[in-house]
Structure 1
Amino acid sequence: MSETSSPSSARNAVVAAALDLFARQGFESTSVDQIAQAAGISRSTFFRQFGGKDDVVFADHEVLLDQLREYLAGEHANPWEAVCEASMQVYRHFAADPELARRRYAVVRGVPALRDREIVTVFRYERLFDEYLRSALPGLDPLDAVGFAALVTAVHNHVLRQLLRGPKKVPASVLRRALDDALVRFGVDNGAHEEADDDLVVAVFPRRMPPAELARRLQSEL
């Protein structure tokens, strides 16, 4: 690797080298020394950047989770939509290099310990969305926060698996349509009520809309 390469590209090169080795000779049979040699870095640099063999497989998720925390910490007019956009950011990342994502998926599927860690990682996204909604919508029923976080995570994973399991491209628009449908089904889409121009505000809300979201929308109109 050249000294002019960016930190992210350098990390990606290490991840790609590790996944290539895992695919060719197996996860358990691949040593950290072999990964470091293939990536052109020292053993100590590898441990400083990643920590271990399993960490290199999930390195992207650690970066993404940090990015989503920063994104959700900002101001968002619609917290429900912010969660959907966070999901889109994750998908766009993996869709940008589907071949690398598919190699990672194949390695994880073949190692039970990595599959277990993958389950934990998915839950971390879901918990992040859940905690954000509770913070952004005071008084929100915890079941509504958990339900929507789980719905977005499940929809995201369903579309992502289509990308990972097949050779065809699955554009981000597929996930966007699915998330739009999730917003409608949960009763929190932006088009759920009609606006009036005079002093009388008439709004129609789905019965399934969480009370905290209903209160938020009424407050924004009055």
Structure 2
Amino acid sequence: MSAGAVANESDSAGFRMQVVAESIRLFAEHGYEATTVDAVAAAAGVSRRTLFRQFRSKEDFIFADHEQLMALVAEQLAAAEAAGDDPWWSVCLAAEEVFAHFAAHRDLATGRYRVVSQVPALRDRELVTTYRYQRLFEDSLRRRLPDVPRVRQVAYAAAVTGAHNHLLRQMVRGDAAATADVLRAELRRIHATTVMPSGASAPPTNAVTVVAHGADLSPDEIADIVRERLTWHAVP
């Protein structure tokens, strides 16, 4: 491979995913501490110098796709802002984008989970990475909704991030019920119970809601019906 080809490859999303895949494989086979930077570079087909032009440390290898994904999320939020889309729901759509990425690369996500769970330094790095996504959501809400109390923005971003992370963990553990559809349903609930459009008012505290339902419905289905009756604002 020529030097020019290596440079072009090192700038590509494909290169970063290759580094993720090879580092996960090597860390799983030989252990994180025992795997050298040279071994990862050789497996990725590049030099040590090329690898360090893209990444600052060995920890970066296994999280290489996150940097590009965060950039995409930031772009998506900026596009939603330019289009005047619902700021709250835009955060939910960004979380769905992150989930879709890992669902499309399920094997890598599962392998990373197994490696990270065994290495304290990587677990700490994962927590920092998770917070960076949440901070992107918070920053978007703060820019677009300057009159909304900061605590409400933080609480909303944390709820969206928490729902996403829980389902992602379930997915990589092999739970077939942890799907994009389930995530969307949960995000709609978060949106519906948090967001009140301009001019809307909460129902009176002494209001009585009567709900009729079929006898064959489960408690969760009945709860969903009650939630819909008590929601006084639109849900996307």
- Does the TM-score normalized on the shorter chain lie above 0.5? yes
For 1:3-82, list aligned pairs within 5 A.
3=5, 7-74=12-79, 75=82, 76-82=84-90
SS at match of 1:73: helix
Q: What TM-score do the two structures reach when normalised by structure 1?
A: 0.81
Deviates more, 1:89-98 or 1:5-14: 5-14
Partner of 2:148: 140
Aligned match for 1:106, one of 103, 111, 114: 114
4+ long deviations beyond 3 Å: 1-6, 167-170, 203-207
Shift of 1:57: 1.3
Change (3 A) 1:167 1:139: closer
Partner of 2:94: 86
Name stretches of at least 5 consecutive residues in structure 2 with no aligned partner.
Answer: 204-232
For 1:121-200, list aligned pairs within 5 A.
121-166=129-174, 168=176, 170-188=178-196
Q: Partner amino acid for 2:15? A: A
Q: What TM-score do the two structures reach when normalised by structure 2?
A: 0.76
CA distance in 2, matches of 1:145, 1:168: 31
Change (3 A) 1:167 1:25: farther
Shift of 1:32: 0.5
Shift of 1:92: 0.4
Q: Is the 8 A contact 1:159 1:175 kept in 2?
A: yes
Partner of 1:220: none
Q: Is the 8 A contact 1:187 1:206 kept in 2?
A: no
CA distance in 2, matches of 1:167, 1:187: 30
Shift of 1:205: 3.6
How much is the aligned-residue C-alpha RMSD, in angstroms? 2.3
CA distance in 1, matches of 2:175, 2:182: 16
Deviates more, 1:123-132 or 1:20-29: 123-132
| Residues paired across the two proteins, number | 196
User: Identity of counterpart residues, as a percentage?
Assistant: 45
